[in-house]
Amino acid sequence: MKHTFLAAIAAAALLGGACSQAPAGWSVQGTVADVDSAKIILEGFNNGHWYVIDSLEVDQDGSFAYTADAPAAYPDVMRISLNGRSIYFPVDSVDRVEVTTTAADFGLRYTLAGSPDAAAIHSLDSLINASIEAVGVDSTLRCDALKQQLFATAFADQQSVMPLYYLINRSVGRKPLFDINHRADMRLYGAVAQRFSILCPDDPRTAYMVQTYQQALAARSGLTAEYEVPTASLPADIVRYDINGTEHSLAQVASKGNVVLLSFTSYDLESSPSYNALLNTIYEKYHANGLEIYQLAFDGDESMWKLRAKNLPWIAVWNTTTDGDAVLLSYNVGALPMTFIIDRNGTIAERVVDPTTLENIVAKYL
């Protein structure tokens, strides 16, 4: 197996610069029946660009195998290619992915096993390939019903991100299946960026996706990429339910003459305990002076959200998976946590990105 210099650099970056003593990482292996002497190309993905990691020898019985030098630092998507067709698969840490196919069916009909994400990506590709065979490439690219079905499949596991990441980067006939400049596709892209922000805030791809989404949203709205919810504007109403099933309307809370701290967060975030501890300090200090907190959580697991929200003294409501990302679009929220101040007149006064400045900002409105 021969690496190019560029491929070696890319592989080293992908594997986190592991030293020679590091444990073996993820692997892909399988069988391609009836294959000739051609080599299988293994490629990695970097925000829209595929690069070669290695070329894999295929034995006489059609078997091949590759093991990375170290565990994957982040969940990722790879592909193996043969004669211009590709099979995509996810890797995470030390996953063992298995592929079975034939040379004639490579990239069209195959089995993919080894992890739940592998099974999910196989399901997505089966739907895409079935559509291509039935109606062709162009109709597949224009089929909104198919795209909704694909996203429903990819979103099924609320703690998974790789099927979603794969989907928004999938191409059909050398064209992207999801076009971020198309309104419906842009909203789906935003939902993926939201899930990455919640589940993978430290993943280097998260900031890229959030920025890409915000730029597309700004371009569609005729706004600059630095657009924020304007101050002195009425907040878009949010109506959600707390752990007891009681409905809470942000508009009603903001109409009572109090200062409202509007918090977008996820209790799954590593920073959530410290963020909520800060909110609690501010709430205890200023609640008697007319401060209310309306906190909307974007957690995937309802039972865990209820467990964490039950002891909070403020209004804590949940954005269900069926509520989607409309409220994030309304407030141009690209990362969590995010906080807004609504003044006593019921208008948005400030967006607060840095929580450490929050207490001083709240105090000036009280």
Q: What is the pLDDT of residue 220?
A: 65
Categorize the per-residue pLDDT at 316 as very low, low, confident or very high, splitting at 50, 70 and 90. Answer: very high
The CA distance from 27 to 63, in Å, is 14
Asked if the model's pLDDT at residue 227 lies above 70, the reply is no
- Report the share of the chain in percent with pLDDT over 70: 88
Asked if the model's pLDDT at residue 14 lies above 80, the reply is no
Who has greater pLDDT, 247 or 225?
247
Q: What is the pLDDT of residue 359?
A: 93
Q: What is the pLDDT of residue 219?
A: 72
Q: What is the pLDDT of residue 314?
A: 97
Q: Any idea where the domains of the chain sit in the sequence?
A: 1-104, 115-227, 239-365
Asked if the model's pLDDT at residue 7 lies above 50, the reply is no
Q: What is the pLDDT of residue 22?
A: 45
Would you give the distance in Å from CA 112 to the centre of its chain? 22
Categorize the per-residue pLDDT at 143 as very low, low, confident or very high, splitting at 50, 70 and 90. Answer: confident
Q: Tell me the average pLDDT across 267-291.
A: 92
Q: What is the pLDDT of residue 5?
A: 29
Structure tokens at 99: 């592929």
Q: Tell me the average pLDDT across 274-301.
A: 93
Who has greater pLDDT, 111 or 236?
111
Q: What is the pLDDT of residue 313?
A: 96
* CB contact at 8 A, 214 and 248: no
Q: What is the pLDDT of residue 51?
A: 82
The CA distance from 315 to 318, in Å, is 10
- For domain 1-104, the question of CATH label 2.60.40 is answered with yes
The CA distance from 204 to 165, in Å, is 13
Phi, psi of 22 (to 5 degrees): -65, 150
Phi, psi of 195 (to 5 degrees): -65, -40
Who has greater pLDDT, 315 or 219?
315
What's the first-to-final CA gap in the chain, in angstroms?
68
Distances (CA, A) of 65 to 70, 225, 298: 15, 45, 40
Q: Tell me the average pLDDT across 262-288.
A: 92
Q: Tell me the average pLDDT across 111-121.
A: 90
Most confident of 293-297, 303-307, 339-343: 293-297
Give pLDDT tens digits for 275-285. 999 999 999 99
Asked if the model's pLDDT at residue 347 lies above 50, the reply is yes
CB within 8 Å of 21: residues ≥ 6 apart: none
What is the SS3 assignment for 75?
Answer: strand
Q: Which long-range contacts (CB under 8 A, 24 or more apart) does 214-217 make?
A: 214/332, 214/334, 216/180, 216/181, 216/186, 216/189, 217/186, 217/190, 217/329, 217/332
Asked if the model's pLDDT at residue 272 lies above 60, the reply is yes
pTM across the whole model: 0.54
Q: What is the pLDDT of residue 136?
A: 92
Q: Are strands 63-67 and 175-176 parallel, antiparallel or unpaired?
A: unpaired
Q: Tell me the average pLDDT across 44-55.
A: 79
Asked if the model's pLDDT at residue 297 lies above 80, the reply is yes
Q: What is the pLDDT of residue 250?
A: 94
CATH code, 239-365? 3.40.30.10
Q: What is the pLDDT of residue 211?
A: 78
The CA distance from 142 to 144, in Å, is 6
Q: What is the pLDDT of residue 12?
A: 41
Q: Tell me the average pLDDT across 145-174.
A: 84
Asked if the model's pLDDT at residue 157 lies above 90, the reply is no
